[in-house]
Structure 1
């Protein structure tokens, strides 16, 4: 067993830009998949309605029912809403940026904590500067990795309080704009919604929504998604991993993560077509087939710690172009 004390450093460029250019050259028809999916708004409306209805039904139920429903149903609904917020962050619903942001704010409602607008800021940087520690919020802090280390208890705590650890990462991302009127709007809408839930439904309903949020990103098989996407879980230094398991059916294909990084301008419903069109580029990569299996492996495998991430010190090693327009420069710092 190797007790890691630092991240894995790479001098190579992040892999997605290179693979995108190769795929587009060999399969130019892939461009036809790029576009918007306005029908996604109906999925958002349905998921928000589901969570509100469940909160209403559980308002007078025992705490056992509240916990059970949050773990078995609410977690999956909230996780799906995270995927919807992710779609909005990439402007994959409507042509207008404002319309996508309002859709993201609406999808954020049952999750209680206002995060949709902030997620957009940090997530787009993750794509533009993958592996650059001062700009990629998906990377853990050094103190975070040292604190959690590779112990079962530490990793369980990390999953349980995953949103809290993410908040602590924001202080190192000093180049990003963290506050504007969109953030205020997100906050105000969330305050009104949360107050209404408490006033009309009570503590049990509010607790159901809070627990659903916690389980959707934490100590739950769904929490393995955060490990699946970029943590080094094989002997090779593969930077991004996809998941091709059954949960994709209720997670809007979010497991197709290599495909998404290669083509972030393609909406969720068409991600499987990327792999189907260019299988030779994805079948040769390592991938996961079970979030549940990965969840337990992450907890018990001492070889996996938060240091199992690839970092790069040079920003120039990161491709700063729009993959939907491979020959056009973009400004990754602008949002």
Structure 2
């Protein structure tokens, strides 16, 4: 990604420890030498608004919603079982209903990974396996440790698998490359973690795999291969050029033009780093467990989706000046078409964080 004159000037003139670009031209990520911002903001919010901690805890409404969406997807799979795969009816249903539903299930698993459906850790793991069924490929057990590490190690190179690698950023640094990334980003998010580091396999991983394969086998035997094909196509489209897939890019890429321009205007003595998490306040949150409230979620991952709006209301003074997105579709369009935006636009740090989630078998019970 080519740096703009404004961006270069910002990086050279700032005297604070905010993220700066490394001199190595082969590595153009924003490198930060401060801790991730969410822990310090969380402590400041708790100090100013201690009542916010009352919002923490499970949200039982997640359970029937998961079951309803799983039922919806199974109904669609059954109704399409005799429909040709290469037909407008099959693909349109998969794009409009299937992709939206499976993105909803991706984000249900995201909620459940924080133990926000049941109080019991094991019950949450089992519900995640149920939510995984219409996705077609077992992944819920593996998602949890990688995602929890993302929270504890935000931006840490070699730990946060949400970060693109330098290899990806270099080879996809063009409009065509970014369009390819956005089209196939679900594959990047599925395969990249295994390339960064391997997680230990546990009994819950084995259960996730066995249940999913058995479910797929029964489905094929009962309704034919097109039913499973519908599930997998829905999952692919959910992470492709689809409105709800915009959240993958919107959450942590530093490309909001207001963020870059405003950074120059800020007093360097304030020592305010470049924002590295962005919220989205728009209607698609209704379909995605409020994942758009991403600053709020990273600040308080123990608060469920139904109460994240209250975080913003209670601590409005902490969020009102943070840059945010109004459109996930607009995010994807700008990401692809703006030559100053790309996979390099992520904040990275060399140190800090830790691996969490599945490193001990007994953590299943926590």
Normalised TM-score (structure 1): 0.91
Give the length in aligned residue pairs: 321
The equivalent of 1:229 in structure 2 is 251
- Does residue 214 (structure 1) correspond to residue 236 (structure 2)? The answer is yes
8 Å contact from structure 1 (residues 35, 265) kept in 2: yes
Q: 1:260 aligns with which of 293, 297, 317?
A: 297
Task: After TM superposition, list the pairs within 5 Å mapping 1:1-335 onto structure 2.
Answer: 2=2, 5=26, 6-62=28-84, 63-149=87-173, 151-174=174-197, 177-234=199-256, 235=260, 236=263, 237-315=274-352, 335=363
RMSD: 1.9
SS of corresponding position for 1:60? coil
Name structure 1 gaps, 5 residues minimum. 321-329
- Whether the 8 Å contact between 2:73 and 2:101 is mirrored in structure 1 is yes
Query: Structure 2: 5+ residue runs without aligned partners?
Result: 4-24, 264-273
Change over 3 Å in CA distance of 1:143–1:282 after alignment to 2:
same
Q: Distance in 1 between matches of 2:195 and 2:93?
A: 37
Structure number with bigger Rg: 2
Structure 1: which 4+ aligned runs deviate by more than 4 Å?
Answer: 330-335
Distance in 1, matches of 2:72 and 2:193, equals 32
202-211 vs 65-74, which deviates more?
202-211
Shift of 1:17: 0.5
Indicate if the aligned counterparts of 1:228 and 1:241 stay in contact, CA closer than 8 A: yes
- Scaled by the length of structure 2, the TM-score of the pair is 0.83
Q: Which residue of 2 aligns with 1:326?
A: none
Give deviations 1:100-125, integer Å, cap 9, x for gaps: 00000100000011110100010000
The answer to whether the 8 Å contact 1:144/1:165 transfers is: no
